[in-house]
C-alpha cells in the first residue's frame, strides 16, 4: 500500500471525536461511550505503534510494559483502562439483556467519565511523545 492510499488518520480521529460529542449532546450515551472506547484504543495503538491484531487488553499490557521500561513504578492509567474496558463489556452485554433505553440511561455517567479519561490520557501520553498530537488527537 502506498502512502497516498493510506487513510488520513487525523480526519478519522476528528470525525470520531465529533461524532462522540454529537452523541453526548443528543443523549446517545451508549454510542458516545463506544466511540470513546474506539478513540482510546486508537490512541494506545498510535502511541505504542501497534497496528496488528491486538485486543484492547493486549494494548493495556503493552502500555504497562512500556511504563515499566521507562521505570515508572506506579502504572499510571493502567487500572483506569482495565476498568474502562470492563465497563465497555458490561454496556454491550446490557444492550442485549436490558435493551437500549435502559442501558443508555445507565451509561451517561460512564460516557462523561470516558471523555475525561480520553483527555487526560492524551495529555499524559503527550509527556512521553509530543508528536502524538500530530496524529490528530485532541483533548478539548
- Asked if the structure places residue 83 within a domain, the reply is yes
Place of cell 511504563: 67
Answer yes or no: are the C-beta atoms of 29 and 104 closer than 8 Å. yes
**pLDDT: which is higher, 130 or 85:** 85
How many domains is the chain built from? 1
Question: How does 33-45 read in b/e, with b if 16+ C-beta sit within 10 Å?
Answer: bbbbbbbbbbbbb
What was the pLDDT predicted at 18?
94
Q: At what angle do helices 9-26 and 100-128 cross, to 10 degrees?
A: 140
What was the pLDDT predicted at 8?
63
d(CA 121, CA 1): 31
- Asked if the structure places residue 140 within a domain, the reply is no
The pLDDT tens digits of the residues spanning 26-46 come to 999 999 999 999 999 999 999
What was the pLDDT predicted at 130?
87
What was the pLDDT predicted at 3?
47
Answer yes or no: are the C-beta atoms of 6 and 133 closer than 8 Å. no
pTM metric for this prediction = 0.89
- Asked if the structure places residue 5 within a domain, the reply is no
Share of the chain above pLDDT 90, in %: 73
Structural domain containing residue 52: 12-135
Amino acid at each position: 500500500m502506498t502512502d497516498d492510499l493510506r487513510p488520513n488518520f487525523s480526519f478519522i480521529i476528528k470525525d470520531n471525536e465529533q461524532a462522540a460529542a454529537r452523541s453526548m449532546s443528543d443523549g446517545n450515551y451508549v454510542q458516545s461511550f463506544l466511540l470513546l472506547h474506539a478513540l482510546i484504543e486508537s490512541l494506545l495503538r498510535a502511541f505504542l505503534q501497534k497496528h496488528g491484531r491486538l485486543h484492547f487488553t493486549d494494548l493495556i499490557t503493552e502500555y504497562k510494559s512500556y511504563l515499566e521500561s521507562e521505570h515508572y513504578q506506579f502504572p499510571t492509567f493502567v487500572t483506569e483502562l482495565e476498568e474502562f474496558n470492563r465497563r465497555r463489556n458490561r454496556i454491550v452485554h446490557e444492550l442485549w439483556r436490558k435493551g437500549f433505553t435502559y442501558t443508555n440511561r445507565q451509561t451517561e455517567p460512564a460516557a462523561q467519565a470516558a471523555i475525561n479519561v480520553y483527555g487526560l490520557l492524551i495529555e499524559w501520553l503527550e509527556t512521553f511523545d509530543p508528536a502524538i498530537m500530530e496524529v490528530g488527537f485532541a483533548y478539548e
